[in-house]
Structure 1
Amino acid sequence: MSAPRGTEATPTPAPDADGPARPATDGQLLDGVTYQQAADGLEKCLAYDRAHASGGIDKSHLGRAEDYRIVLAMRSTGDTDSPGDGAYVVAVKEEPAGFRVICNVENGEASGINTGTADAGAEGAGPVMADINGGKLHQQSFLDKGAWKLPFRWEVVGRVESSVAKVTVSYGDSSATAALDHGWFVAAGVLGRQVTAAPHIKGYDAAGKLVYDSDTDATYEKTLP
């Protein structure tokens, strides 16, 4: 199974009935996960996070599901650290810039949400910048190192500058051309063997010139923990 070729789609389809906006391409909804399932999962994860806030932590900054655009939905593989298969939903907001959430849903219920911010225009960042906290999407537990459950659905998400026309990702025995979705890139594939090297990311401009290579990016971790 390979990921769809990436395209910069405009305009973004409108959200359904006060839900989050849809991804730019249908190929960003993987493994049979529908838009409605992804939207429902995102809503459950936001509600779960608000309900489990502790120590007076204000989670209102996460906003509502309709504040987001879904950029990916796919199956998730349970491991020793977090048992139980399910689905991941990745959604982004325009404000603050680069804000994204990774929502994990198991058996139709939210089991956790991870938040982060990535800004491709940040000082020292290249025209392509992988989400440094997105490892859960392409790694299984450190406890399972060398014994991952295979085949394993992986994904890499991050920010791209407007000068980037194409992003490719290779990982182990698989590779993908990313979908480009309004300043984000989303690549996914299926891993068939154990790996020790992190995904290898390349970015190209409209003329096909290589403008980014994770191998030469001093800020990019090239091996897995």
Structure 2
Amino acid sequence: MSGEQEWDVEERMRDLLAEDAYTIQPSPVPYPAIRRRGVSERRRRVAIAGAALVALGALPVGAYALGGAERGGSDTAAPRPTAGAAQRTATSAPPATPAAPAGPARPATDGQLLDGIGFAQAAHGLQQCLDYDEKREKALPMGSAAPADDGLGKASDYRIILAMHSTGDSNAPGDGFFVVAVKEQPRQTRLICTIRDGAAQGLNTSVGGTAGDTAQPVHADINSGKLYQQSVLDKGHWKLPFRWGLIGTVEPSVAKVTVDYGDGSSDAALDHGWFVAAGTLGRQVTRAPHVKGYDTAGKLVYDSDRDESYEKTLP
């Protein structure tokens, strides 16, 4: 083949290759379609994120955290309270306060709480007395005593009928105050306790009522002498003035009780079957309080001077 022919063949080949290049040129990129698809995808993601925020906002007090595999747990959602929620919970739900133990019942009249002794102080004194008795029973040697099934019971079993100043004497030095309380169940019980120097210092109890062998409408408590007399060691040398008290039981037919003692007289308070009298002595005495009882018509139905079982003089 001559040189001219070779040049024609080469020229022809270049023309054919150029035509093929234009033939296989790719079609233009569809930019509008791609843009529409991208905008649609962004809107879908925004909608999903918005729905997730709404769902989290609807939760009352908690967010969710994934339990990590390092704690040995599964990757499940667990509630985690927020700091604000914990603070609101602590504010709205304060810790419960233990209920205070029930106390005794009040006396029928305020006049049975004497010498500035309030009911709260008297009730606290009664509890001290009961605690004192319980400790005393526990300290006794085994088999030396046969205490009652439930001891003296709880303060809520009692009703306080008298609280008054106590005057110390040679047998029990130091002043303080008396608390007198009674209960009816499971058996009638009366206790007189002395509070001195902020603690229970002596306890006198009587079980089974104050009635003697004779059927009398008024029964003075013959074991309550510590309320109206000083120690026999101080006979003739009492500390004066001297606050005194006298208690006992009355039948329902009795409407009034009076007590004369030394140079004073007292109309007793009637409190659920008990009478409570008190006064102040300004001089030394040798005779016991003089007790009288009257019915609703004012008729005298009891006179301690006529009661053979009543001790009319002091020891």
Counterpart Cα distance in 2 of 1:17 and 1:33: 21
Structure 2 match to 1:143 = 233
Structure 1 match to 2:111 = 27
Q: What CA deviation, in whole Å up to 9, does each residue of 1:26-62 have, x standing for no partner? A: 0000000010100000000110111012134335330
| Two-structure CA RMSD over aligned residues (Å) | 1.5
Counterpart Cα distance in 1 of 2:207 and 2:276: 15
Which of the residues 196, 207, 214 maps onto 1:117? 207
The question of whether the paired residues in 1 share the 8 Å contact of 2:211 and 2:219 is answered with no
Structure 1 match to 2:191 = 101
Q: Which amino acid aligns with 2:219?
A: M
Count of matched residue positions in the alignment of Structure 1 and Structure 2: 210
Alignment of 1:64-103 (within 5 A): 64-103=154-193
The question of whether the paired residues in 1 share the 8 Å contact of 2:220 and 2:248 is answered with yes
The question of whether the paired residues in 2 share the 8 Å contact of 1:71 and 1:181 is answered with yes
The question of whether the paired residues in 1 share the 8 Å contact of 2:241 and 2:280 is answered with yes
Q: Cα offset for 1:124? A: 1.1
Per mean C-alpha deviation after superposition, the further-off stretch among 107-116 and 52-61 is: 52-61
Alignment of 1:122-133 (within 5 A): 123-133=213-223
Counterpart Cα distance in 2 of 1:89 and 1:215: 28
Q: Which amino acid aligns with 1:88?
A: F
- Could you tell me the TM-score, scaled by structure 1's length? 0.89
2:244 aligned counterpart, secondary structure = strand
The question of whether the paired residues in 2 share the 8 Å contact of 1:100 and 1:116 is answered with yes
Indicate whether 1:36 and 2:126 are aligned.
Answer: no
Counterpart Cα distance in 2 of 1:117 and 1:144: 29
Q: Which amino acid aligns with 2:282?
A: G
Structure 1 match to 2:268 = 178
Gaps of 5+ in 1: 1-15
Counterpart Cα distance in 2 of 1:160 and 1:167: 9
1:92 aligned counterpart, secondary structure = strand
**Structure with higher RCO (Cα < 8 A, 6+ apart):** 1
2:168 aligned counterpart, secondary structure = coil
Identity of aligned residues (%): 64
Structure 1 match to 2:45 = none
Q: Which amino acid aligns with 2:135?
A: A
2:245 aligned counterpart, secondary structure = strand
Structure 2 match to 1:215 = 305
CA distance 1:120–1:147, shift in 2 (3 Å)? closer
Q: What CA deviation, in whole Å up to 9, does each residue of 1:44-91 have, x standing for no partner? A: 011011101213433533001111000000000000001010000000
Counterpart Cα distance in 1 of 2:214 and 2:122: 34
Which of the residues 45, 49, 56 maps onto 2:129? 45
2:124 aligned counterpart, secondary structure = helix
Gaps of 5+ in 2: 1-99
Q: Which amino acid aligns with 2:125?
A: G
Instruction: Determine which structure has the larger strand proportion and give its number.
Output: 1
Counterpart Cα distance in 1 of 2:108 and 2:134: 28
Indicate whether 1:152 and 2:238 are aligned.
Answer: no
The question of whether the paired residues in 2 share the 8 Å contact of 1:148 and 1:194 is answered with yes
2:111 aligned counterpart, secondary structure = helix
The question of whether the paired residues in 2 share the 8 Å contact of 1:68 and 1:91 is answered with yes
Q: What CA deviation, in whole Å up to 9, does each residue of 1:171-198 have, x standing for no partner? A: 0001100000000000000000000000
Instruction: Determine which structure has the larger helix proportion and give its number.
Output: 2
Q: Which amino acid aligns with 2:250?
A: V
Structure 2 match to 1:55 = 141
- Give the structure with higher Rg (CA): 2
1:32 aligned counterpart, secondary structure = coil
Q: Cα offset for 1:112? A: 1.5
